[in-house]
Chain A
């Protein structure tokens, strides 16, 4: 025994020593080294994809999508009542402090210079430009929620000397952050490349971001200072001087016009049916000249999401659960004007308010409305994927004795009344059931028409649009209006309205209020509503927490079939407007919500960080 083990030992020493150098000095199989990444344009592109994917949004198809139901565009009709009962928006609601992503991008910008030896100068410049675009995007997301934040553009390295004070950067002013975004975008726009791409940034994407950011800065400079007591900190971490307003508006207008005048993008006008056309304009992924930047998904590569599963109308759902989560409000539906330019309030009662108006068909009450209503909302009498979405709350039976109608509603979706006609639609609405609309409407925008996309097994690869030309026209119009260029302002907004069916030159005069409504209806469910109200400084008035304020309360529309045999109104339709039955607390936006609170741990780690007002 002993002998054999001695031989074995000797043998082993021979074998191992012979190839020891290669054996111990191998390349790791599970770690990618900096030199490998920064000399391989495919790996850099992969890294970029990661950063694009991590771009923050308050509400998108994947991030915080449910919060579309937390404002006045929609309410929540799925299980739980959280979003219908927000007593007041908490001060940390829009908080964002994503310096992890900022650091990753800073690191990338530095490393591509240090390690990228085999890339040519052109590639290096282009990739660096794209990283800087992403960093500007993140800083815009930070400044619009938090006010001025520390502008960190280099990686911060601790030298373990026991005193980290030299790493603690105070907040820059709100003005400085917006100026930084503008100068970065101007610096990189000629280097970006990616011509014609709508999922990676090119020069027009940079200008689209600049157009939006400068519009925000301009309106903050103007409207914050028009408040009775402007929101500001002594160090201007929050609060842009009023004198800067015109400069910012001019920059926004110039950026918008660079995109418009380039001729590279057009409003989508392919489908002759204007309502369908507006739906296609946002959701069609091929041959769509309107989209400037989108976050794309692909089912076959497992990049997909459940937005359609959660929000499809009840009777067209393909799964046995969910559906109907985000259901648009009557408030939004009535903000879509009639095509003759009159207020969009639905006509449900006669002129003297003594009786209903009786309609032959459910959809007739929506006749001659802005085509964008159809493209955004599924309303009674319309279809989805070719299947009628049956929306009817019940029947109104005439009671001869009391000379009035009596409501009959059923808890069984798709049930019939005694006379053989429909009682309650297979898509509701229902007053207290979940997973069926409570407001009388369903969401169409961003809900996928592809077969099986509402099943949990397959899901949807609908894309999320970050910038599109429609917004740029409205940005240009608003900036021009603020700069006193009324003719340009009217020209741009009319182009957007023309696509919605209003005819050419539908507006002859323009006010900011009109433009505010135009943004509400064009950009509904595209993550604009909160930020628009915040920058115009009207959020605390529109959502003032008062149950008597129709803007702060979510309304519903319940259609009924009339049962009155022998009378001309028999089997016609009437509509009741009511406060949505599941809606509890009026929307309440406080002054402390204009800037979100900074987390205590951030202040603990860096005492130079100043708190935001009211926190």
Chain B
């Protein structure tokens, strides 16, 4: 018995390791190496959105199953997707982002890495936004420009948070002005948020402005701004 044991043990171990090492090699596909990167832009400037809220869809014809690849847009308006080389169609999903519906397809020929600007037409955009701090307060002053007249303004908000991700779901303080109080869009609008004592003690906070168009689910945002409190 002992001799056989000595003989079989290394054999068995060898066999096992052979199985373990070889199995991953052959039956798996290579991961997609090409990358499609891009920005959602209006007049060349990126459009800010809610993180994890807005998506684009990518489609590819020619295969048995026709399934969309959802691409979520980051809060600064950028997006990226790892794909195989090929010809894709990029679609701006209806009723999804804070802009006018445009279902024109964008053809994407992907070979290696590609950068792409996806143009949209928002209902409202921010201009000349400046941020300032007061005693336990943070203010934002900005102009609102109506780009498309088919829908009306609902409200503007100022969100203050402790990280760069700031939106209706991630914030510490939030103030708003409803459309009824905003009569003249040619004049700058100022929103002031009063910070809680714990927030006011911090070294800095992030402030971000957002505009809500009535009848559109998502809001359009400015860039988050770091405001030094001391």
Contact = CB atoms under 8 A, between A and B. Distances in A.
Contacts of A588: 168-169
B67 A585 contact: no
Contacts of A600: 67
B215 A229 contact: yes
B33 to A, nearest CB: 25
B95 A545 contact: no
A227 B216 CA distance: 12
A546 B95 contact: no
A385 B138 CA distance: 52
A558 to B, nearest CB: 19
A614 B95 contact: yes
A592 B176 contact: no
A80 interface: no
Contacts of A586: 168-169
A548 interface: yes
A545 B168 contact: yes
A59 B176 CA distance: 35
B95 A604 contact: no
Contacts of B67: 600, 603-604
Contact of A591 (B52, B155, B168, B217): B217
A613 interface: yes
B95 A88 contact: no
Interface in B48-74: 52-53, 65-67
A253 to B, nearest CB: 31
Interface string B66-106: 11000000000000000000000000011110000000000
Interface residues of A, number: 22
Given A545-B168, A600-B67, A590 B52 contact: no
A contact face: mostly helix, strand, loop, or mixed: loop
A546 B212 contact: yes
Interface string B146-174: 00000100010100000000001101001
B176 A548 contact: yes
A87 B174 contact: no
Contact of A614 (B53, B66, B93, B175): B93
Interface in B170-224: 171, 174-176, 212, 215, 217-218
Contact of A604 (B53, B65, B212): B65
Contacts of B53: 88
Contacts of B96: 592, 614
B95 A591 contact: yes
A588 B50 CA distance: 13
A614 B94 contact: yes
Interface in A532-546: 540, 545-546
A546 B94 contact: no
Contact of A613 (B52, B94, B218): B94
Interface string A157-201: 000000000000000000000000000000000000000000000
A607 B217 contact: no
A88 B168 CA distance: 11
B14 to A, nearest CB: 43
A24 interface: no
A298 interface: no
A87 B217 CA distance: 13
Nearest to A227: B215
A547 interface: yes
A31 interface: no
A591 B67 CA distance: 22
A603 B93 CA distance: 18
Interface string A579-610: 00000011010111000000010011001000
Contacts of B52: 87
B66 A607 contact: yes
Interface in B94-137: 94-96
Contacts of B155: 546
A521 B93 CA distance: 38
Nearest to A228: B215
A227 B175 CA distance: 28
B30 to A, nearest CB: 24
A554 to B, nearest CB: 15
A546 B217 CA distance: 11
Contacts of B168: 545-547, 586, 588
Contacts of A607: 66
A88 B170 CA distance: 12
A592 B53 CA distance: 12
A392 to B, nearest CB: 26
21 contacts: A87-B169, A88-B53, A88-B169, A229-B95, A540-B217, A545-B168, A546-B157, A546-B212, A547-B168, A548-B174, A548-B175, A585-B169, A588-B168, A590-B217, A591-B217, A592-B95, A603-B66, A603-B67, A604-B65, A607-B66, A614-B94
Instruction: List the 9 closest pairs (A to B, CB-CB), nearest first.
Output: A590-B217, A228-B215, A87-B169, A614-B95, A548-B176, A604-B65, A547-B174, A585-B169, A591-B95
Interface of B: 52-53, 65-67, 93-96, 151, 155, 157, 168-169, 171, 174-176, 212, 215, 217-218
Given A546-B176, A591-B95, 11 more contacts: A229-B95, A586-B168, A586-B169, A588-B168, A590-B218, A600-B67, A603-B66, A603-B67, A604-B67, A614-B95, A614-B96
